Structure 1
Amino acid sequence: MKSLVPVILILLATTQCGSCAKILGVFSIPGRSHYLLGATLMKALAEKGHDVTMISSFGEKEPPKTKGTYRDIVVTEVIENMNEMIKEQKMNMFDREKGNPFLETIIIGYMMPKMMEPVLGNKEVQKLIHSDEKFDVVIIEQFVNDAEKALATHFGAPLIVVSPVGANSWVNTIVGNPGPTSYIPTVLTDYLVPMTFCERLMNSVLHVIGQIIYHLYVYPTENAKIKKYIPNGPDISDVLYNASIVLMNSHPSLNQPVPYVPNMIDVGGFHVKPPKKLPQDLQEFLDNAKDGVIYFSMGSNLKSAEFPPEKRDAILRTFAKLKEQVLWKWEEDVLPGQPKNVKLSKWFPQQDILAHPNVKLFITHGGFLSTTETVYHGVPILAIPILGDQKLNAKSAMSKGFGLVLPYSELTEDKLTQSIQEILNNPKYKDNAKQISENFHERQVSPMETAIYWIEYVIRHKGAPHLRVAALDLPWYQYYLLDVIGFLVLVSSVIACISYYSIRAVCKKLCKKGKSKKLKQK
């Protein structure tokens, strides 16, 4: 019996190793919120026992302790690129609030490919590309960075795409998902459904312009990157539609219900973790706030310290009048005129703060991760949206009844005070936030378990090609039935012409017979 023990241990070890996969994650967008999504997912996969390699713009300060391995490849050049672009254009992020969706579409389509240029050219990434390593799956965030999808082809692995927001034209196109512009607003608008005629018109035009920019500029630019940085790199057309599944950071309680093809999986909120113990100073601040706490953060890319003086002073005067305590994410050491009820920090553990029962309101920029976290914890919001999807998220929160929108251009002491008091004194906002939170939590399994299941499913099924819809194999004119419509128009036109000339000929004959009869009668 003793002689069997080593054999059993070897079999157990072999079985355990056999379930481990080598996974490459690419979350290179230079935004902390984007990195948070990717890092949370990759660390969870490493904790499950998989061997993870993570390419990002940030990286971990200390290697996470996991059952599997976790290797960081940090591409700092992307952040340097972004900062350089901001300096060159003398761009204040708050000025972007004045931009319209058409301008935002052009800016994103032009800037993102240039900003992301260093990823594939990074020294460590090049070492990886030219190594003999193989991966079982490659996971890439979808955000105007399509050249990175060629890594999956290069390493001979299935491709999984993560969408940081819900279904949109960037994602729908690559998996053949229907996205009618008649009732699905594009991600850069703030349209609510049902849309008016003018909104549907603008929404459709914006979609077409976006597709034109992609096909005429973005895709050719991304294709050039592939050829430049990947040996024998595939053509962009061969990798664009290669995703086995798309993990959608969305959920029907937050996002508008829309059609999904079978390989689109909702995992919205997978980055949210159970609350941890707060630092002692924060814990005491929140516990001792008898009248409640307002948490104020403009996210990771927008900096409160860059508010123009008139906006900052309006906020300060408003906070000074409140009986509630305020936590304000402020990126500098000093805030001139700081009220006694305001506590500052360059960074706050946002999820853990929102979990505290004394938090009554979250004043936010309306980013999707912040919106998801506030819904998870059932806290109403006052949104001051600036750019990207923030305006749509903010309008959605208002339409669902768990928040209000205060446009940045209209931010004054009176309007800010009025909005805060409306949310704090009207119980409907808190009630709606709690109801939506219940809907958000109502799932068979957690979103992270869902994400990991489907990633491992793709590995087990060698890319799961059976989930791929036939629409991806059709040229665009066939997908939209333009050839069928053209044929029917042609046949109808021929029939109409034949009918017209036949009737005309018959009429002429009848007229001639009539005339001949009259002549005979005379």
Structure 2
Amino acid sequence: MGTWVTIVAPFISGLKNVTEIQCDKEGRLKSLMDKISEINLQSGSYAISGFFEAPSVFYKVAHDCMKSKEIQALLEDKSTEFDAVVSAPIYADAAGIYLAHRFKASSVMYLSIQASLPTLDHFMNQPHNPSYMQSIFSPYQTDMNFIQRTGNVLLSYLTRCLFEWAKRYLSTKIIDLMKNTSLTFHFGHPLLLDGNKAIAQNTIYLGMMNCQEPDFNKNMDPDIKKFMDEAEYGVVYVSFGTFLQSSLMSEEYRQIFIKAFSKLKQRVIWKWETEVMEDTPTNLLLKKWLPQKEILAHPNLKLFVSHAGQSSFQETLCFQKPALFIPVQGDQRQNAYEGVKKGMGLVIPYQELREDDFLSSMESLLQNSNYTQNAQHWGALVMDQINRPLDRAVWWMEYVIRHKPCHHFVQPFHKLNFIQRNLIDVYGFLTLILGLIIYVNFKIIQCCIHRCSRRRQKSVNTKVFLKAIGVDKDVTSQPRERIREATDTFKIGIEHEAKGQLKVMKGFPMKIHLKPVPIESLHVYHARKTPHAFKGASYNSKLEGKSGVLRYPSIQKIKASSVDEFCSGTDKVLSGIAGAKKLADDILIFGRDSDELLSRISNVFARCEIWGIVLSKEVSTL
């Protein structure tokens, strides 16, 4: 049973037994490729403008393609059926995506590059992790350090932004249809570049599919074969692929090549599109088209000077030849560095090409057999496959035809947004729970430590001070002298703060407050940091004359016109409080000056025993 094949492409290939429809009769794509190539080869810089121009060109080509009479005839013919539509995505093959949907056919993507393009990875169900997967525009090699990984992340993001900008040419429906890809043919190999990445089960590697047996008699011109057969020291083959035309390079770059080639004893075959060049060295053969497989397979081929395009890079491995890679644009840099990593070649970016470096690199590759041995080693590894890539492609294509439209291959990956796909919501929730657990445990431990400390340091703010003034003696005897002696011993200073509102005692945990302005009455508070010590006590928002954030409960404000009245009032209040013997608090005393303050301290301390406050003779650990 045969298969009816229709090819819709910008160029007519002339293949037999297929129907071909040319969709770019005006040559927009060729003009764009020539423009990018000329800018790159002339100036030695990347044609950034070309990449921004590309989306509109692709859109116009796809639009004209859909409007062509050939495609319209297929769409209008109700009997026309297709089982599968194969698209080659770059920015997005809108026409191919739509046709697969229109004919209810399996949508198949064919990706001809292996370097990671974040946007295509996403739409073809492939995970993209910039921590180890270089973006197609990334200048970095594998095993990136921190700075390189940061740069790679930014490049991946910018690449994604480029696609977001290009999406203005596409409808939302087309973008959604891209997510329904049934199968992806990937022209890569698991041993090359980031081939060790996780892939979806509907991604089929077809790397080395272009590695076919050479036919010297059929494909190689006699003059080329003779030129290579008679090369005593071997041949150097130079080609920059199909789209990069060497004949477009500037005179400066052409001279670099010519001068370097003239100093080699090997013969050189160069793909030069015009086949005409002034001052051509005698060892140089120019051809506008060359049978690359046959040339690489020739036993006299010693070195391949290549732009490191995907096909050329794989053919270098197929025929196990060392290479000097001169990447110019796109994925070529990544391919080139992969060749260096495999030890089968060297790399000189086109923008950095100099005659001395070019010549020395070629001589090193020609003279050092390690490059050839590494090329043979890796070539054998990548070519050792369970079956031929072409056979795999045919089997899987027939599979999607048999089971169209193969929606069982579509991944749930596309149903998740960025936050869900990267588990940011899950990690955030777990972090919140963990934070709450840590906070609650911290508060519990803090509370336990505080309560234990309060018990262990009963009367802690008065103990040491009273010990210093002699609580085992008659505290009424010479109180002022003893208090002054204690304040000197503990370096307690009674000072006035700015604006004269508060005094501070320094160097000791006991708090002595002095308010230097006139006050109406004498106040004493047994202040606790634990309000529940006094049942039913009210909670003051802030002590008068006390700055800061501490809040104390007040027992009762005692107003008196004399010291005796003050002391008797205090006795009365304290005698009615349950658990007064367990008081372990700061005694905050206000006075108009230091003499009045010391007098009140003496009276309060002298009456501690009457109040039922047990004064410990232990020395505090503070």
1:58 aligns with 2:11: yes
> Against the structure 1 CA distance between its residues 464 and 115, is the aligned structure 2 distance closer, same or farther, given a 3 Å change threshold?
closer
1:58-86 per-position Cα deviation (integer Å, ceiling 9, x unaligned)? 1124x42xxxx401011234732552696
Measured in 2, the distance between the counterparts of 1:319 and 1:300 equals 22
| Aligned with residue 373 of structure 2, among 431, 434, 455 | 431
Give 1:179 shift. 2.2
Which stretches in structure 1 are left out of the alignment for 5+ residues? 1-15, 17-48, 225-234
SS at match of 1:161: strand
| Aligned with residue 31 of structure 2, among 83, 93, 99 | 83
Amino acid of the residue matched to residue 73 of structure 2? K
> Against the structure 1 CA distance between its residues 237 and 335, is the aligned structure 2 distance closer, same or farther, given a 3 Å change threshold?
closer
The answer to whether the 8 Å contact 1:291/1:323 transfers is: yes
Measured in 1, the distance between the counterparts of 2:260 and 2:133 equals 37
Aligned to 2:394: 452
Aligned to 1:227: none
Amino acid of the residue matched to residue 250 of structure 2? P
| Aligned with residue 355 of structure 1, among 297, 313, 329 | 297
Measured in 2, the distance between the counterparts of 1:81 and 1:464 equals 32
The answer to whether the 8 Å contact 1:298/1:365 transfers is: yes
| Aligned with residue 183 of structure 2, among 245, 265, 276 | 245
Number of aligned residues: 454
Measured in 1, the distance between the counterparts of 2:60 and 2:87 equals 16
1:147 aligns with 2:94: yes
Aligned to 1:512: 530
Measured in 1, the distance between the counterparts of 2:350 and 2:37 equals 20
Aligned to 1:130: 76
Measured in 1, the distance between the counterparts of 2:120 and 2:403 equals 22
| Aligned with residue 206 of structure 2, among 240, 243, 267 | 267
1:158 aligns with 2:111: no
Aligned to 2:522: none
The answer to whether the 8 Å contact 1:82/1:115 transfers is: no
1:363-421 per-position Cα deviation (integer Å, ceiling 9, x unaligned)? 11111111111111111111111110111111111111111112223323221210111
Give 1:267-286 correspondences, 5 Å limit: 267-276=206-215, 277=217, 278-286=220-228
C-alpha RMSD of matched pairs (Å): 2.7
Measured in 2, the distance between the counterparts of 1:497 and 1:424 equals 68
1:94 aligns with 2:69: no
Range moving further from structure 2, 440-449 or 185-194: 185-194
The answer to whether the 8 Å contact 1:167/1:248 transfers is: no
TM-score normalised according to structure 2 size: 0.68
Range moving further from structure 2, 269-278 or 398-407: 269-278
Give 1:96-245 correspondences, 5 Å limit: 97-99=44-46, 108=51, 111-122=54-65, 123=68, 124-132=70-78, 133-148=80-95, 149-166=97-114, 168=116, 169-215=118-164, 217-223=165-171, 235-245=173-183
SS at match of 1:252: coil
1:20-42 per-position Cα deviation (integer Å, ceiling 9, x unaligned)? xxxxxxxxxxxxxxxxxxxxxxx
Amino acid of the residue matched to residue 58 of structure 2? M
1:407-448 per-position Cα deviation (integer Å, ceiling 9, x unaligned)? 223323221210111000000111111111111210111111
1:169-205 per-position Cα deviation (integer Å, ceiling 9, x unaligned)? 2332023322221111112213222101011001111
Give 1:95 shift. 5.5
TM-score normalised according to structure 1 size: 0.80
Amino acid of the residue matched to residue 150 of structure 1? Y
Aligned to 1:465: 407
Give % identity: 29
**Larger Cα-atom Rg:** 2
Give 1:344 shift. 0.8
Aligned to 1:337: 279
Structure with greater proportional helix content: 1
Measured in 2, the distance between the counterparts of 1:96 and 1:153 equals 43
| Aligned with residue 294 of structure 1, among 236, 249, 257 | 236
Give 1:241 shift. 0.9
Q: Which structure has the higher relative contact order (CA within 8 Å, separation 6+)?
A: 1
1:376 aligns with 2:318: yes
> Against the structure 1 CA distance between its residues 377 and 327, is the aligned structure 2 distance closer, same or farther, given a 3 Å change threshold?
same
